[in-house]
Amino acid sequence: MGWIMTAGWLLLLFLPFLVSLFGKAQMPRLLCFVCSVMAMLFGAIPYQAVLPWMFGIAIAAISVRERIRSAYGL
């Protein structure tokens, strides 16, 4: 049962990287991967992984938004 919780936390911590895969540029993917790894490493101490995770999800959201903007000409 413990491995299910671990897999869920890893999925949650790597969510910024997974969202950034929908973007077009390479640099946001790298930045989100680094933020996800930092969140995973800082996740041992409660609430210390929040800042890198939020930074990564913001980069990923902006990357996806820019891809949508360029695709539809908005």
Which residue is associated with the tokens 């969510």?
A: 15
Does the pTM surpass 0.75? The reply is: yes
- Number of neighbours of residue 36 by Cβ within 10 angstroms: 25
Residue 67 CA: distances (Å) to CA of 1, 5, 39, 42, 64: 39, 33, 25, 30, 5
Calculate what percentage of the chain has a pLDDT beyond 70. 92
What was the pLDDT predicted at 46? 74
pLDDT surpassing 60 at residue 1? no
What was the pLDDT predicted at 20? 94
Tens digits of residue pLDDT in 8-39: 888 999 999 999 999 989 999 999 999 999 99
